[in-house]
Amino acid sequence: MLQAASFRGGDKAPVQILTAKQQIELGSISTEIAFNRGVRIYEAGSPADFVFIVKEGVVKAFQDLPTGGERVLTFLFAGDVCGLAQDGRYVNSVKALTPTICFKIPIGALTGMFLRDSELELQFLIKMAHELREAQRQQIILTRQQAHARVAMFLRMLQLRDGKESPRIELAMSRRDIARYLGLSDEAVSRAAARLNREGVVAFPGRHVAQILDRSRFEQLALAA
Amino acid sequence: MLQAASFRGGDKAPVQILTAKQQIELGSISTEIAFNRGVRIYEAGSPADFVFIVKEGVVKAFQDLPTGGERVLTFLFAGDVCGLAQDGRYVNSVKALTPTICFKIPIGALTGMFLRDSELELQFLIKMAHELREAQRQQIILTRQQAHARVAMFLRMLQLRDGKESPRIELAMSRRDIARYLGLSDEAVSRAAARLNREGVVAFPGRHVAQILDRSRFEQLALAA
DNA sequence: CGCTAGATTGATAAAGGTCAATCATTGTGG
DNA sequence: CCACAATGATTGACCTTTATCAATCTAGCG
């Protein structure tokens, strides 16, 4: 079933806000596409004919910088929407970090459906507002002075994302992607993780797993700003 | 006439996208309010009953940090919308930096109008998408290593905002607000400005004015990333 | 006209960037 | 199935940059 445009109604678990009818409608104009790990879903600057909704997997939205570097703007998970356009062109590139399945929706069909179903349109508006809040939260993270505090906030964001606050956090993205998301060098992320580990706050049993050891100190780091 | 939800159709001048009819409709459910310099328009955490559209003036949206500091999330100018809510509460505070006039719209009346006028709703959706892009652009600024490059990008943002690329830029906000927007200390902003001045790139004839002297070097600083 | 918040400038120290080397992991081909 | 290559991750040494602390200066504003 189409999980489009689900969003968080607070700091709680994601909320399904589309009616069954709307999901069927959306399903009727969308097609499912699978992407392998590392595949570009679309490229910045190319014609924006489709909106994508992530059904399964994790993807990153990023921009290539003139200097050859790369800035990761956001990570997208199941239920997230991407395909933001400006003047009919995508403004950033999107790449699958894990095997991913997306719903692919022609932008014309979607806006057409908006005209008929104002409620559906409102859900997308709400979804967009949520993404804006996330981007602003990320701005706050980026101004944190200490690298290990940034990493802690990042881990906390991932933890909150799945509602259930399990101490075990899956990291689908590479250290490099984290660094480019947090505005740090690869080395700084490594050192920050090492420090959190050394201080007994977070353990990293594997490169794609984090385990919160000292919840209160972790929260303290992640919340204080 | 109501300038609600105007947005940029590219990197060009703001575009008026509401029809005369929509402007009248919006006007019928909105009231104008004036705020003096320094007045809080609304407070984070308070019930979000109204959406505001800036008609005149400059305001800042910010969050107070647990540490007593303050993070400026964005500056809002004529035509910008604020009043973003989560669970019926404002997520950030908004304060007038100059004498300001806003349209104040009851959120209920606005969503009601959305149901009747899908086109109007789409304009707000587009506006929201634009704000999201701006927030992402800001994320890129915040990851710039050198302080003077951040300041240059900030000035460029202000310059582009009014469409006409005049070398003279009005700075409605204080150095402190700029610092808190750029994630720098007050001193770093001062020094960055001094450096731009010293190197003949930008002059600061007054504390609220910047004058681009060397356009090409300025662009180079502001664009390179 | 002086007062006060904002802005600038200087000295110091902490933090992360950068460069370089090592270690680990994943994926490939023999 | 294993060896090897290539990419990613970590650690160390050094250096640039900015935060911080402190003093001074400036500009609004009563």
What's the angle, vertex CA A40, arms to CA A139 and CA A109, rounded to 5? Answer: 85
- Rounded mean pLDDT, B44-63: 95
How far, in Å, CA of B150 to CA of B145, rounded? 8
- If pLDDT is split at 50, 70 and 90, which confidence band does B2 have? very low
B42 and B148, same domain (yes or no): no
- The predicted structure's pLDDT at residue A164: 82
Say whether A66 and B136 touch across the interface (CB within 8 A).
Answer: no
Comparing CA positions, the residue from A90, A10, A18, A99 lying closest to residue A51 is A90
How far, in Å, CA of B117 to CA of A28, rounded? 24
Query: Which residues, 6+ apart, have CB-to-CB distance to B193 below 8 Å?
Result: B151, B175, B202, B204
- The predicted structure's pLDDT at residue A225: 62
Look up the CATH number of the domain holding residue A102: 2.60.120.10
Say whether A223 and B69 touch across the interface (CB within 8 A).
Answer: no
Number of structural domains, chain B?
2
Only one residue has tokens 């994302």, namely A161
- Rounded mean pLDDT, B23-42: 91
Of A101, A116, A135, which one is at a domain's C-terminal end?
Answer: A135
Say whether B67 and A129 touch across the interface (CB within 8 A).
Answer: no
Range of the domain at B114: 3-135
Token representation of residue B105: 């719209």
Say whether B115 and A119 touch across the interface (CB within 8 A).
Answer: yes
- Reported as a single tens digit per residue, the pLDDT across A140-189 is 999 999 999 999 999 999 999 877 889 999 999 999 999 999 999 999 99
- If pLDDT is split at 50, 70 and 90, which confidence band does A84 have? confident
User: What is the crossing angle of helices B107-116 and A118-142, to 10°?
Assistant: 130
Token representation of residue B51: 């959406």
Cα A169 to chain center, whole Å?
15
Asked whether residue A165's C-beta has any atom of DNA/RNA strand C within 7 A, the reply is no
Query: Which residues, 6+ apart, have CB-to-CB distance to B104 below 8 Å?
Result: B30, B31, B32, B33, B50, B51, B52
Largest CA distance in chain B: 57
Long-range Cβ contacts of B19-27 (<8 Å, 24+ apart): B19/B119, B22/B117, B22/B119, B22/B120, B22/B123, B25/B113, B25/B117, B25/B120, B26/B2, B26/B103, B26/B105, B26/B113, B26/B120, B27/B2, B27/B103
A19 and A123, same domain (yes or no): yes
Round and report the angstrom distance from CA (B95) to C1' (C13): 36
A172 and A218, same domain (yes or no): yes
Question: Which residue in the set B10, B67, B111 is minimally distant from A122, CB to CB?
Answer: B111
Within 7 Å of a protein beta carbon, the nucleotides of strand C are: 6-11, 15-20, 25-26
- If pLDDT is split at 50, 70 and 90, which confidence band does B223 have? confident
A104 and A24, same domain (yes or no): yes
Token representation of residue B64: 């107070």
What's the mean pLDDT when you consider all of chain A?
89
A31 and A63, same domain (yes or no): yes
pLDDT at B22 over 90: no
B149 and B77, same domain (yes or no): no
Question: Would you call A85 helix, strand, or coil by DSSP?
Answer: strand
- If pLDDT is split at 50, 70 and 90, which confidence band does A17 have? low
User: B12, B80, B134, B136: best mutation site toward chain A, by most A Cβ within 10 Å?
Assistant: B136
pLDDT at A5 over 70: no
A48 and A67, same domain (yes or no): yes
Look up the CATH number of the domain holding residue B195: 1.10.10.10
CB atoms within 10 A of CB B155: 22
User: A133, A144, A177, A219: best mutation site toward chain B, by most B Cβ within 10 Å?
Assistant: A133
